[in-house]
């Protein structure tokens, strides 16, 4: 299933690796933040920003740009690292994450940072904003597409299901919601806390087209977004099977790394592991 050229595939892998390195550095520097759920989404954002979406720092006010909403706003490090990788802000600024006077708030602020399409953080709200953007595209006869990244714990929020019902009702085929299904939330396993399964069936029942993919396989991610473009009359829900903390051995599948920063020693190890996985720095 090769849907992209070898060179592009290698580039996207490297982008994802860079993003992961910046995530752990940023959270370590802030001594605060959410590394686990940021690392699990790094491959998805790399594909979105460097392959799938029509976006860029020169297009922040372009009415035809694609829109991305990080509905799971606590994964702000993955968004900031991706925006920096794309040139929206200097990478040095990532060190200001969560500090006073920074544009890089704990959770993304639309007012502060160009490229952030909606302020998020209070869970469950991003999909409704995405609905509104997708409807606006239809009203204005514009071709842009809207992408929202949801957390698995996040979709326990009732508002998500209001939004899901509406997206199906309005047949928003320019809308793609991606579920970062890493199976962990703050208090434990999603299955133990409040099971969201069978999540694919649930969204199908809400009149969505559903795709399941390995959220760390670049080619599968590329293919899923390509398939979504072919779907007419329905929004697309992509279940991304992911690993919380992906790329850093001691964080992988470890609930404790939801909202904890690595210390100096742990940061060194994380960066060493990520470099060994193909990063170039």
Partner 1 sequence: MEKTTVKKIATRDAYGQVLVELGHENPDIVVLDADLAKSTKTAEFAKVFPERFFDVGIAEANMIGMAAGLATCGKIPFASTFALFGSLRVADMIRNSVCYPNLNVKIAVTHQGLTLGEDGASHQAVEDIALMRAIPNMTVIIPADATETKKAIRAAANTHGPMYIRMGRPSVPVLFDDSYEFEIGKGVQIREGNDVAIIATGVMVHIALEAAELLAQEGIQARVINMATIKPIDEEIIVKAAQETKGIVTAEEANIYGGLGAAVAEVLCEKHPAKLRRVGVQDTFGESGKPDELLQKYGLTAENIATKAKEMLK
Which tokens belong to 92? Answer: 């040095």
As a whole number of angstroms, the distance between CA 162 and CA 264 comes to 43
Whether the CB-CB separation of 144 and 67 falls below 8 Å is answered with: yes
Comparing CB distances to partner 1, the nearer of 18 and 107 is 107
Q: Which residue has tokens 């920096």?
A: 84
Scanning 94-102, 116-124, 212-220, 261-269 for contacts with partner 1 by CB under 8 A, the matching segment is 116-124
Binds partner 1 by CB under 8 A, chosen from 21, 102, 128, 182: 128
Q: Work out which of 1, 5, 100, 139 binds partner 1, going by CB under 8 A.
A: 139
Site string for partner 1, 186-225 (x = CB under 8 A): ----------------------------------------
Residue that is written with structure tokens 């299955």 in the block: 191
66 touches 144 (CB < 8 A) = yes
The one segment of 87-95, 107-115, 206-214, 266-274 that binds partner 1 by CB under 8 A: 107-115
Examine residue 63 and tell whether it contacts partner 1 (CB under 8 A): yes
DSSP 107: S
- Work out how close the CB of 127 gets to partner 1 at its nearest, in angstroms, rounded to a whole number: 7
Cβ-based neighbours of 157, under 8 Å, separated by 6 or more:
123, 124
Say whether residue 114 binds partner 1 (CB under 8 A).
no
Residue showing tokens 């954002």: 45
- Name which of 90 and 158 has its Cβ closer to partner 1: 158
Residue 120 vs 182, nearer CB to partner 1: 120
Which ranges in the chain belong to alpha helices (H)?
A: 6-30, 36-39, 42-47, 76-86, 126-139, 158-169, 190-194, 199-205, 218-230, 264-276
Residues at the site binding partner 1, with contacts judged by CB under 8 A = 63, 67, 109-111, 117-122, 124-137, 139-140, 158-159, 162-163, 165-166, 169-170
């Amino acid at each position: 299933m090769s849907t992209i050229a070898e060179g592009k595939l290698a580039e996207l892998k490297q982008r994802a690796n860079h993003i992961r390195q910046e995530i752990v550095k940023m959270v370590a520097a802030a001594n605060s933040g959410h590394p686990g759920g940021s690392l699990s989404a790094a491959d998805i954002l790399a594909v979105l920003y460097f392959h799938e979406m029509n976006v860029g720092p020169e297009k922040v006010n372009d009415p035809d740009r694609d829109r991305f909403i990080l509905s799971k706003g606590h994964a702000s490090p993955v968004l900031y690292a991706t925006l920096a990788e794309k040139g929206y802000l200097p990478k040095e600024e990532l060190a200001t994450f969560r500090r006073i006077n920074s544009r890089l708030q704990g959770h993304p602020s639309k007012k502060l940072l160009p490229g952030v399409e909606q302020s998020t953080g209070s869970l469950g709200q991003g999909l409704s904003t995405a609905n509104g953007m997708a409807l606006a595209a239809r009203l204005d006869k514009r071709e842009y597409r809207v992408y929202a990244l949801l957390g698995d714990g996040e979709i326990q929020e009732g508002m998500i299901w209001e939004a899901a019902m509406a997206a199906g009702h309005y047949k928003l085929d320019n809308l793609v919601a991606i579920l970062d299904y890493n199976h962990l939330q703050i208090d434990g396993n999603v299955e133990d806390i409040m099971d969201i399964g069978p999540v694919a069936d649930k969204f199908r029942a809400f009149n969505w087209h559903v795709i399941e993919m390995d959220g760390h396989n670049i080619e599968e991610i590329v293919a899923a977004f390509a398939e979504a473009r072919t779907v007419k009359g329905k929004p697309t829900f992509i279940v991304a099977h992911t690993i919380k903390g992906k790329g850093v051995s001691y964080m992988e599948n470890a609930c404790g790394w939801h909202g904890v920063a690595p210390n100096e020693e742990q940061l060194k190890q994380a960066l060493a592991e990520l470099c060994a996985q193909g990063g170039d720095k």
